[in-house]
Structure 1
Amino acid sequence: MYQQILDPVAHSLAWSALVAALPLLVLFVLLGVLRVTAWVASLVSLALAIVIAVAVYGMPIGQTLLAGSEGAAFGFFPILWIVINAIWVFQMTVATGHFDVLRRSFARVSDDQRIQAIIIAFSFGALIEALAGFGTPVAVTSVMLIALGFNPLKAAVLALTANTAPVAFGAMATPIITLGKVTGLSSDTLGAMVGRQTPLLAVFVPLALVLIVDGLRGVRETWPVALVCGVVFAIAQYATSNFISVPLADVVAALLSAAAVVAMVRVWRPRRPYPKPAVIAGGAADEPTPEFAERVAHPDSRADVIRAYAPYGIIIAVFVICQIPAVKSLLDRATFTVKWPGLHLLNAKGEELSLATFTLNLLTTPGTQMLVAGIITTIALRLSVPRALRAYGTALHQLRWAIVTVMTVLALAFVMNASGQTITLGTWMAGAGAAFALLSPILGWLGVAVTGSDTSSNSLFGALQVTAAGQAGLSEILMAAGNSSGGVLGKMISPQNLVIAAAAVGLNGKEGDIFRRVIGWSLVFLFFLCVLSALQASVLSWMVF
């Protein structure tokens, strides 16, 4: 049995927080400064977290290792289970040539890469986030961008940067539903409050994508379509989350923003089209063939186009069907909750930690539903069983280092959470009093940076946000929502998502390069959200419930 302590270093919360932060600091320095491969950086950081848990926090070595093993298991199921099956579907479309058809179809909507980045990385990525989440949109949209001729590094950066504003409502609002459970607050009210924060962020994300693709010149030339996409998405996300349905917020926003972009490019185009650079070696998809431009000019048959879009239509259909209450209830019968063997944890108050409980949701997890969509896809694409199995093997080989890294990073997160290192950091920040309104999103950002999941961050810090809000005389709804909204900005720098992006575009070992490209965007957007949170706690209090 292990009971957490929050101030093991000289009974000082500040000094304890400094020591607790060391594994994260080492991880980000190794990735961003020393350019160490992600799986090596995560192993070093995990080892340091174990040493601190045992030597500083006094956690028994057996309990520490058991917590790490549970984290590794959680990293594989459900997270990697989703990504592996998503990449399998992609590999099947590549093997059959239907991905070439798909990219030609997107090219006919617009041959301008700046607009393609908005449609695919932002709008289509938001739809995948709404249905699956857990890194799936990063894996899918990055390879789609490569297929259209994007540089692999740029494709990864675009996919990660775009996967921000939709995250809080991802996987049918799972993060917000979880936040409601751990805080005791209404999920609908929390979702509506988040819907008064992230939409303001969404307005600027398409502009950021254009800036990444083509710099300031690109923004000057394509700002109308980027602004239309962001504004439509923001209005739809706000209206849906506040007045219709929190789980459907991203679905509605994604579809309406994509439709707005497609409608606009029919009547307006940039004066100077942005040329496609050649795909460099190391990409996940083959370089476009010499016949690509010819096939764009002379479209594929309607049947070929339908089959090319079929996998994504099947994915959407499967996920939507599985969200029907009667179907979801039936599938939930295959969900099992067990105590992780041998792991016994208490928090600082002596209450049992839910961390030791492992949920095995065999049929409701997006990974299994993606597997079902993949099986149906083999029929739709007329793929033989041997070819489908070879495609699965290709996906596993492509993700081999990602599998090691994600399992290691989640082991790190669970060791830090179980020993009390993470809650030490959070409690120290919560002592800021009224200034906590400015810091609240940072806590969510930190949680997602560690775990790679807004859901996990809300589980970790949601109750702490409410407690800190009560002590500082701040709105509990605002602080809890700030945790989820701030968390979405930690998604792009979390090692879990960095390695998924690197593996998807064929840049294994280059996670540090991707990290340096996205950390600036993460911090800029985080600063914006922190200021917004502080203003909503004071002069913009009319925006708060």
Structure 2
Amino acid sequence: MFVQELAPLGSLGLSALVAALPLATVLVLLGAVRLKAHVAGLLGLAVAALVAVIVFGMPVGQTISGAVQGAAFGLFPIMWIVVNALWIYRLTVRTGHFDVLRRSFGRISDDPRIQALIIAFCFGGLMEALAGFGAPVAISTVMLVALGFAPVKAAIVALVANTAPVAFGAMGTPVVTLAQVTGLPLESVSSIVGRQTPLLAVVVPLLLVLIVDGRRGLRETWAPALACGLAFGFVQFLASNYVSAQLADIGAALAGVAAVMLVPSARRPARAEVKASVLTGSATESFDGEDNRGDVVKAYAPYLLIILIFSIGQLPPVKKLLDSATWKFDWPFLDVAAANGKPVSGNTFSLPLLSTGGTLVLLAGIVTAVVLKVKLADTAREWGATVHELRFAILTVTSVLALAYVMNLSGQTTTIGNLIAGAGGALAFLSPILGWFGVAVSGSDTSANALFGALQVTAANQAGFSPDLLASANSSGGVLGKMISPQNLTIACAAAQLTGQEGNLLRKVLPWSIGLLLVMCLIVAGQASFLSWMLP
């Protein structure tokens, strides 16, 4: 048995400084050297393994075994979810039904402020729910430019809109990862994140109409913007707390669109002066005309199928049946105990073969292929193309999770957490900043949760805070770093054909990112004290 040490170098501060080297390596290589994320992840993993063996005394065999376990979790269930979700999106693009869905949204209103709400916030939220990993920013930016938005404004709107849905993106991947690396129940972290990010959802649509048309936009369209945010946030809260983390963003996005359509002012034709001042670009697409009703139904079918299948999967008899296919076993060549001598949870591994979100999404994808009449060979070809498209994302996620597992199992995370706990009462206020920083550098709430989730739990336990709260704050704070991450800025520039203007976009969205982060810090600090009634 390998027993973790809190201060292998005799000093907690010095030990924590050395333990932070793998994280520092990843962050510097990404942020300063600007290496590809998968290269930075692999180099960070190498540093984590060296520190684990040389400084913390973890046997080489157990270090390798821990890294393999982390990579295995990165493949299943994490990337299993992402691959199958993006596969469904590719099927709709292949058959042309994605364009039908896009036109359906575009016809709701010709007011560019309302279009920003529907396309960037609601439709972008739907794309975040299904695909994540930059897809919502790219797709929303292209659609807004096609409508006549200036490229810079389209990119800014898409970036700012890609906040509230992120924690539950890619079928709940960030919170699923957070639960796994911290050992906390998924239901617990999902419910707390679902009591934090919905508050952002109320604010962000108002910011979007302000960005699109200034104070006039806020004055004239606050009602549909507020209705959109309230509906999105309320459904996200309900789904994440009482239904399923995987369904939170899908339901919220559809509710947001429905709320906008129910506000009479949102359906009024836009005044000429509004269009003239906002749509300074050249529209490349028209949403005039009608699509066949059957095609419209088919365009919505994949998302309705996902909701239906996940809902059926939550029924107690079905859930019990699916859970019965979960395989739990002792991970080979791994025998680790915490500093107190108790075995750590990482010694065992769980494979939820049927109950995992990726398998349910796969089933929805198969039914989608049947509904959209995609040939079997083409369906399989699109799945293979999806894996190829995500190959570097797969390598990044597996390497980052391998790094996180090595740090957690060797005791590096515990050592850093014990040192950070010295922040005392300020820890609750500061905890979202750690997640924000992680996402700003890595571009992924999933990666930031893998890197810092266990650290937040350790610090919370030492400082006397709720570990569930601070772990959840890592994910909720992280969503606000998404808009300033180099990865997302590059995607937005590519989609809007703004080559080399990442710095300009960063300067424009950074104030919104910091301002919303401050709001989240205040929310978490309040929930740790006088707003504790908000927690489950």
TM-score, with length taken from structure 2: 0.79
Q: Which residue of 2 aligns with 1:199?
A: 198
Deviation, 1:377, is 1.0
Report the Cα offset of residue 540 of structure 1.
Answer: 5.2
* TM-superposed deviation, 1:302: 0.7
Q: Is the 8 A contact 1:66 1:343 kept in 2?
A: yes
**Deviations 1:221-259, CA, capped at 9 Å, x for gaps:** 7555333322344455567888x7786876765444332
Q: CA deviation at 1:81?
A: 0.8
The residue aligned with 2:140 is: 145
Report if the CA contact (8 A) 2:137-2:491 is conserved.
no
In 2, Cα distance between the equivalents of 1:44 and 1:216?
48
Residue 316 of structure 1 pairs with residue 307 of structure 2: yes
Q: Structure 1: which amino acid aligns with 2:469? A: A
The DSSP-based 3-state class of the residue aligned with 2:6 is: coil
Q: 1:37/1:234 Cα in 2 relative to 1: closer, same or farther (>3 Å)?
A: same
CA contact (8 A) 1:335 1:362 kept: yes
- The answer to whether structure 1 residue 3 and structure 2 residue 8 are counterparts is no
2:476 maps to which residue?
488
Cα distance in 2, alignment partners of residues 530 and 352 from structure 1: 34
Answer yes or no: is 1:60 the counterpart of 2:59. Answer: yes
* 395, 410, 422: which one aligns with 2:413: 422
**How many angstroms does 1:266 deviate by?**
3.7
Q: What is the CA-CA distance between 1:205 and the residue it aligns to?
A: 2.7
Structure 1 residues 173 and 52 mapped into 2: Cα distance closer, same or farther (>3 Å)? closer
Q: Name the counterpart of 2:26.
A: 27
Q: Is the 8 A contact 2:477 2:520 kept in 1?
A: no
8 A Cα contact 1:203 1:230, kept in partner: yes
TM-score by length of 1: 0.78
Judged with a 3 Å threshold, the aligned counterparts in structure 2 of structure 1 residues 257 and 455 are, in CA distance, closer, same or farther, namely: same
Paired with 2:122 and 2:218, the residues of 1 have a C-alpha distance of: 18
Q: Which amino acid aligns with 2:140?
A: L
Cα contact 1:232–1:257 (8 A) shared by 2: yes
Could you tell me whether the CA contact under 8 Å between 1:88 and 1:391 is conserved in 2?
yes
Which whole-Å CA distance do the structure 2 matches of 1:446 and 1:2 have between them?
32
User: What is the SS of the residue equivalent to 1:203?
Assistant: helix
Paired residue type of 2:51: I
Which runs of 5 or more structure 2 residues have no equivalent in the other structure?
146-150
CA distance in 2, matches of 1:74, 1:301: 43
SS in 1 for 2:477: coil
- 8 A contact 1:427–1:464 mirrored in 2: yes
For residues 80-99 of structure 1, the aligned pairs below 5 Å read: 80-99=79-98
**Which of 372, 389, 397 is matched with 1:398 structurally?**
389
In structure 1, what is the equivalent of residue 163 of structure 2?
A: 161
Q: 1:49-84, CA deviations, whole angstroms, 9 ceiling, x for partnerless residues? A: 222222222222222121111111111111111111
Change (3 A) 1:538 1:492: closer
Find the aligned partners of 1:394 and 1:237 in 2 and give their Cα distance: 31
Give the direction of change, closer, same or farther, for the CA distance of 1:85–1:124 in structure 2 (3 Å limit). Answer: same
Count of equivalent residues: 514
Describe the superposition over 1:178-219 as per-residue Cα deviations: whole angstroms up to 9, x where unpaired. 899848xx967x877666544333322334555777888876
Offset at residue 341 of structure 1 (A)? 1.3
Partner of 2:107, secondary structure, is helix
Rounded Cα–Cα distance in structure 1 between residues aligned with 2:489 and 2:390: 10
Partner residue in 2 for 1:348: 339
Letter aligned with residue 300 of structure 2:
Y
Contact persistence 1:30–1:41 (CA under 8 A): yes
The 1:38–1:107 alpha-carbon spacing in structure 2 relative to 1, beyond 3 Å, is: same
Partner secondary structure for residue 383 of structure 1 = coil
> Contact 1:112–1:275 at 8 Å: present in 2 too?
no
Query: How big is each residue's C-alpha offset from its partner over 1:276-326, in whole Å with a ceiling of 9 and x where there is no partner?
Result: 968xxxxxxxxx9x7x42xx2111111111111112222221211112221
Which aligned pairs between 1:98-109 and structure 2 lie closer than 5 A? Answer: 98-109=97-108
Q: What amino acid is the match of 1:145?
A: S
How far apart, in 2, do the equivalents of 1:76 and 1:277 lie? 42
Looking at structure 2, the residues matched to 68 and 520 of structure 1 have their Cα atoms a distance apart, in angstroms, of 38
Q: Note if contact 1:410-1:451 (Cα within 8 Å) is conserved in structure 2.
A: no
- 1:468 matches 2:462: yes
CA distance in 2, matches of 1:59, 1:179: 19
Q: RMSD over aligned Cα, in angstroms? A: 4.4
- Measured in 2, the distance between the counterparts of 1:95 and 1:187 equals 36
Counterpart CA distance in 2 for 1:352 and 1:459 is 19
Counterpart amino acid of residue 68 in structure 1: A
Shift of 1:123: 3.8
Distance 1:333 1:454 in 2: 31
Given that 1:94 and 1:100 are in contact with CA atoms closer than 8 Å, whether structure 2 keeps it comes out as yes
CA deviation after TM superposition for structure 1 residue 503, in Å: 8.9
SS where residue 359 of structure 1 aligns? strand
Q: Distance in 2 between matches of 1:187 and 1:417?
A: 22
Query: Unaligned regions of 5+ residues in structure 1, if any?
Result: 279-287
Q: Tell which deviates more after alignment, 103-112 or 394-403.
A: 103-112
Q: Following the alignment from structure 1 to structure 2, what is the Cα–Cα distance between the partners of residues 171 and 401?
A: 17
Match of 1:370 among 350, 361, 364: 361
Q: Cα offset for 1:484?
A: 0.9
Residue identity matched to 2:446: G
What is the match of residue 262 of structure 1?
A: 261
Asked if structure 2 preserves the Cα contact closer than 8 Å seen for 1:64 and 1:415, the reply is: yes
2:373 to 382, 392, 407: 382
Aligned to 2:522: 531
Q: Which amino acid aligns with 2:290?
A: P
The structure-2 alpha-carbon separation of the partners of 1:239 and 1:384, relative to structure 1 and needing over 3 Å to count, comes to closer
Superposition deviation, residue 446 in structure 1:
7.5
**Does structure 2 conserve the Cα–Cα contact (< 8 Å) formed by 1:444 and 1:484?**
no
Contact 2:113/2:212, CA 8 A, preserved across alignment? yes
Deviations 1:131-174 (A, max 9, x none): xx6x7445664464256255797697457424346579948986
User: Within 1, Cα distance between the matches of 2:8 and 2:292?
Assistant: 68
Q: Secondary structure at the match of 2:163?
A: helix
* Structure 2 SS opposite 1:490: helix
Is the Cα–Cα contact under 8 Å of residues 4 and 346 in structure 1 kept in the other structure?
A: yes
Provide the C-alpha distance between the structure 1 equivalents of 2:527 and 2:115, rounded to a whole number of angstroms. 35
Contact persistence 1:398–1:504 (CA under 8 A) = no
